[in-house]
Structure 1
């Protein structure tokens, strides 16, 4: 199947790029074929975010979004920023980047479903349930398009299944989200990360609750730092009050943490037991659960954005504004800039294939997006000094230097290199879940509606099967059992003195944490069959 443009990924950036391309073509009276692939069973099925959205880019893309029924239903009304001890909460001044006047609390999944409708109305061909599994190349090395994975080949790949489809394009836009499986291969082939700092990541874990009306404050936004995290580990929480008595609660832990006994999932469950937090959920019920990694490195960790035949947009490149705790408007803006550059290349030479949209990087450097990310570039790296020194520096950087300090702090190490041997730490004793406020992993995965066909090749692959026991268990006490928020990794056979790693791939919520945090980078996350994974409602 041949198109002018193929977009890989149906998140905010992929949909924005597709919409913008169609808008540009319509303005010039041109025909432009655009296809978008989404590995989830529907647009929005795999979308997970807090989320508070800043409508700046949406105003640029679809100025009449209110009239068109965009699901931005809950204006942000009140901000609180709390420091938690084990029993107390202390209100701190809200950093200026975290002021949310003019923003909206949303379900990002529902927002993407609406964007998908806008794209289809413009003529974008959207194919949910199709996972791009391979990048295709021309003989000259430029990107030719992508191929979807084979279906029904059996666990060992030894059954005759349905072959995948090749989608050829003059330009391919990769919008896979954080730690994209195809984007990783592009990094290596085109050396896109040369000169950039290592990317650093966080894991965000979220639940959606229906709370009692008397506990509900539509438009209320609370962020916390402190307990249950130690001051040397980057992390914090959010509580966002949406419409219909719903509250989104989540916890983010920087994946540069050192203690192999730390469990981000258990820290989140423990956080909900704090007296200031527990009262919000008393008498309520949990509706949904999910987890997703996010790119936190900022502007110094951005790769090269274009290459012959394609571009990177959104969180697959790493446009998140960490101090603002927002990435939707930045991801969408990157996609706008990329679409403009791609369209310019296609228009300049209608017959050309495999050209590089170099105008994308130039447009980024002169955009408000570059300015926004540049001004906050030193805040996330400062947290390697610990919570209080980082907060003091962040205030200095924000109020005195106004983001224009004459230096740039660097990210020096990949997150997997930060993990220390288990012998240096004491195991953490986490409380047992009560099934009312706190829950175990399996019951959480159940309400994420996660499912994979059991008769398919594993999508969590070990480069060396001996490493989980010889290295991870021996040196780090098998940290994959704790950093995975879905119970995918399990050491069995310890009682028989024959330990082995059991991979419960059926549980995988596609958060990509294992691909990031595994200490020897022995775990390789590849895309499973299309339609597999979580099916998030209202997340």
Structure 2
């Protein structure tokens, strides 16, 4: 069946901070130059911001560049950071608070804001539309389109109204094609189209393997007497201590407005013990006195999870290819040492817009915007990422304490001009050891007050998928979960997924089968990253499916 199509100047895949910054800056440049450009932004979530999840302490540098009058325009930055507390949690009860001078400069948050990134993206979406962008929520880009010469032609959205068996329902609608002079991929961490581009064009051939964490987050409403608006708390150590855990895991708790706190745990996906459950580690984390003191008597109001890309500059792929650009966390511009990726994503989008506008001035635009690479390499964004390039590799190679010492030395003594560069050439999924070589972990049952079970948490994410549709969690080989992963790794998908998507079920005849509850999926992408056999391929479901985060 032939699909309808639309010709545009630029199509942007993803209405996150990178994609929306690109749209806004490009249209600002077009207005200043009295030119007309057609810019479309495709967003797989049911609305802009629905799939956005971040801590988030936000550095406003890129927003200042994009909209110097953002305060007057009503950008949702309402809570300025008033204090930084950084703790090392020794065990389940004790802790040590780092004196300010011992905290790496990258962890200082003076001038930053505690925000909902989802709300900021909603606001950026409004600004983009006011500038003339066409924003299409619920349009999941499912396929990259190529010209005969191999360059990117655009993208196609997925078909709607297809059954799990692949048959057309009465409501069937074919996907829609967007053809563009340039296609910008800004899907966020582990974008499935970005993954295809990196492989097809070998964009990572000169880079270290990428590294990831999973961030699990909740928002609570707490008693007024326990609330300290503007306080940002960061932790390291418990519960991720010991040789099984990768070194750069950590927790956070941010006091936002309206007597609410955002709290979460980032688990480095380079961990080795397949018995680890990041979700259950988060439940343990909340019971530590440093965290629990704020939650007691409070009420949990939302939950979500998202993978975080944290390899830094050493793992950054080439970001240009014939027909488009790969930007933001789709490429890996997050600054892990700061635990911040929103401002860096926006800066990558601003740089992309400047390169796009220049390229579009030509009568016959070049297929590949190679100028973007030099613009990036000469930018403040590159300088920032270069100064923190050793963060992830340092923790992976040397462990928590030596990695922390390296980070302090690099930032507080050498001020980002450390003369050595460290590399980590091992992929996160390859770190997992056989289950028989690792200690079992006995997680306590949730108490229903501070800690909770997975399914009640998934309910708070407002996740919804049409039941009768093709499964968006594709197995390359359906036999591997039971025949390989179960005997060797005790099938870790049962534990690394924070939404209860994967189960090993015993049938009536005593046999075991791998069950995928895809309707629970919160689109965190952890399975695509951490599966030790690299057998799971995450692709987009029907547009609009997935979580619907109100203010994450």
Length-normalised TM-score, structure 2: 0.96
The offset of 1:188, in angstroms, is 1.4
1:118-197 matched pairs, under 5 angstroms:
118-160=127-169, 161-197=172-208
Q: Can you list the C-alpha shifts for 1:425-474, whole angstroms capped at 9, x where unaligned?
A: 12100010111110010000001000000111000010001000111101
Assess if the C-alpha contact under 8 Å between 2:104 and 2:412 holds in 1. Answer: no
- Larger mean Cα displacement after TM superposition, 225-234 or 453-462: 225-234
- State the alpha-carbon separation in 2 of the partners of residues 365 and 95 from structure 1: 25
1:64-463 matched pairs, under 5 angstroms:
64-85=69-90, 86-93=92-99, 94-160=103-169, 161-232=172-243, 233=245, 234=247, 235-349=249-363, 351-352=364-365, 355-384=367-396, 385-463=398-476
Structure 2: give runs of 5+ residues left out of the alignment: 1-5
- State the alpha-carbon separation in 1 of the partners of residues 253 and 369 from structure 2: 40
Q: Can you list the C-alpha shifts for 1:494-524, whole angstroms capped at 9, x where unaligned?
A: 7843111000000000000000000011000
CA RMSD of aligned residues (A): 1.1
- State the alpha-carbon separation in 1 of the partners of residues 265 and 448 from structure 2: 19
Number of residues of Structure 1 aligned to a counterpart in Structure 2: 537
Q: Can you list the C-alpha shifts for 1:328-352, whole angstroms capped at 9, x where unaligned?
A: 1100000110111111111122x54
Q: Secondary structure at the match of 1:428?
A: coil
The corresponding residue for 1:509 is 522
The offset of 1:390, in angstroms, is 1.2
The corresponding residue for 2:3 is none
Assess if the C-alpha contact under 8 Å between 1:345 and 1:355 holds in 2. Answer: no
Assess if the C-alpha contact under 8 Å between 2:275 and 2:441 holds in 1. Answer: yes
Q: Secondary structure at the match of 1:383?
A: helix
- State the alpha-carbon separation in 1 of the partners of residues 433 and 509 from structure 2: 27
- State the alpha-carbon separation in 1 of the partners of residues 510 and 336 from structure 2: 45
The offset of 1:397, in angstroms, is 2.0
Assess if the C-alpha contact under 8 Å between 2:139 and 2:544 holds in 1. Answer: yes
Assess if the C-alpha contact under 8 Å between 1:200 and 1:411 holds in 2. Answer: no
- State the alpha-carbon separation in 2 of the partners of residues 495 and 97 from structure 1: 55
- State the alpha-carbon separation in 2 of the partners of residues 44 and 419 from structure 1: 34
- State the alpha-carbon separation in 1 of the partners of residues 424 and 539 from structure 2: 26
- State the alpha-carbon separation in 1 of the partners of residues 433 and 508 from structure 2: 26
- State the alpha-carbon separation in 1 of the partners of residues 422 and 403 from structure 2: 12
Assess if the C-alpha contact under 8 Å between 1:197 and 1:411 holds in 2. Answer: yes
The corresponding residue for 1:54 is 59
Is 1:26 matched up with 2:38?
A: no
Assess if the C-alpha contact under 8 Å between 1:73 and 1:243 holds in 2. Answer: yes
Q: Secondary structure at the match of 1:205?
A: strand
- State the alpha-carbon separation in 1 of the partners of residues 443 and 423 from structure 2: 34
The offset of 1:192, in angstroms, is 0.7
- State the alpha-carbon separation in 1 of the partners of residues 545 and 120 from structure 2: 21
Assess if the C-alpha contact under 8 Å between 1:492 and 1:502 holds in 2. Answer: yes
Is 1:522 matched up with 2:527?
A: no
Distance verdict in 2 for CA 1:65–1:397, change over 3 Å: same
Which of 482, 493, 518 is residue 480 of structure 1 equivalent to?
493
- State the alpha-carbon separation in 1 of the partners of residues 26 and 464 from structure 2: 34
Length-normalised TM-score, structure 1: 0.98
- State the alpha-carbon separation in 1 of the partners of residues 513 and 65 from structure 2: 53
- State the alpha-carbon separation in 2 of the partners of residues 322 and 74 from structure 1: 22
- State the alpha-carbon separation in 2 of the partners of residues 464 and 131 from structure 1: 25
- Larger mean Cα displacement after TM superposition, 81-90 or 478-487: 81-90
Structure 1: give runs of 5+ residues left out of the alignment: none
Assess if the C-alpha contact under 8 Å between 2:501 and 2:517 holds in 1. Answer: yes
Assess if the C-alpha contact under 8 Å between 2:104 and 2:407 holds in 1. Answer: no
- State the alpha-carbon separation in 2 of the partners of residues 142 and 407 from structure 1: 37
Is 1:492 matched up with 2:498?
A: no
Distance verdict in 2 for CA 1:271–1:138, change over 3 Å: same
Assess if the C-alpha contact under 8 Å between 1:84 and 1:225 holds in 2. Answer: yes
Q: Secondary structure at the match of 1:487?
A: coil
Q: Secondary structure at the match of 2:481?
A: helix
